[in-house]
């Protein structure tokens, strides 16, 4: 599937490990909201990248890309469910590695040389890996509407 849109909203994470599923949950909520409340611009694509983000997104850049909005959990010492927009250069050292030990920071830094890249990070309450626990904690689930508002503002809706 080509990712041929100017703005990509990419939800990263593993739904099997509790709050690590935040990114995919936000994409699902955005898709449902698009059907009922918000019409996204034609130049925008929503991607549930799951745990394949580093492979499918970061290694296949397209010339048409202008802005990448990554939605994921980020450990930054805030209260669970707290959201923050991170510029790639301000991601806390070692705080943005996914639970499968994929190094994510370097590909994001490389992409930010060509495209506008931001991370909407949510402080998790519980990441259950390696134990499987479905569903987000209440604090992280409650952050989804605010994350959607942040994304809509970034894409001009």
- Contact (Cβ atoms closer than 8 angstroms) between residue 14 and residue 132: no
The answer on pLDDT for 132 being more than 80 is yes
Reported residue count of the chain is 157
Class of domain 7-81+96-155 (CATH, top level)? alpha beta
CA–CA dist 113, 141 (Å, integer): 33
The answer on pLDDT for 93 being more than 60 is no
Residues 6+ apart with CB under 8 A from 101: none
Per the prediction, the chain carries an average pLDDT of 85
The answer on pLDDT for 106 being more than 80 is no
Domain boundaries, the chain: 7-81+96-155
Q: What's the pTM value of the predicted model, to 2 decimals? A: 0.87
pLDDT category of residue 33 using cuts at 50, 70 and 90: confident
Share of the chain above pLDDT 90, in %: 54
pLDDT reported for residue 124: 95
Sheet (strand 44-50) strand order:
44-50, 7-12, 67-73, 116-122, 83-87
Higher pLDDT, 95 or 47: 47
């Amino acid at each position: 599937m080509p990712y041929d849109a100017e703005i990509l909203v990419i939800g990263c994470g593993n739904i099997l490990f509790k709050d690590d599923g935040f990114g995919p949950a936000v994409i699902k909520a955005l898709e449902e909201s698009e059907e009922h409340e918000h019409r996204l611009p034609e130049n925008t694509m929503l991607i549930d990248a799951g745990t394949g983000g580093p492979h499918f997104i970061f290694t296949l850049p397209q010339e048409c890309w202008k802005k990448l909005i990554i939605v994921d959990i980020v450990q930054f010492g805030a209260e669970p469910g707290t959201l923050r927009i991170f510029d790639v250069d301000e991601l806390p050292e070692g705080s943005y590695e996914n639970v499968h030990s994929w190094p994510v920071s370097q590909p994001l830094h490389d992409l930010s040389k060509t495209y506008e890249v931001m991370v909407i990070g949510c402080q998790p309450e519980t990441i259950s890996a390696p134990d499987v626990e479905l569903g987000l904690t209440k604090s992280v689930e409650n952050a989804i509407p605010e994350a959607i508002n942040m994304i809509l503002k970034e894409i001009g809706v």
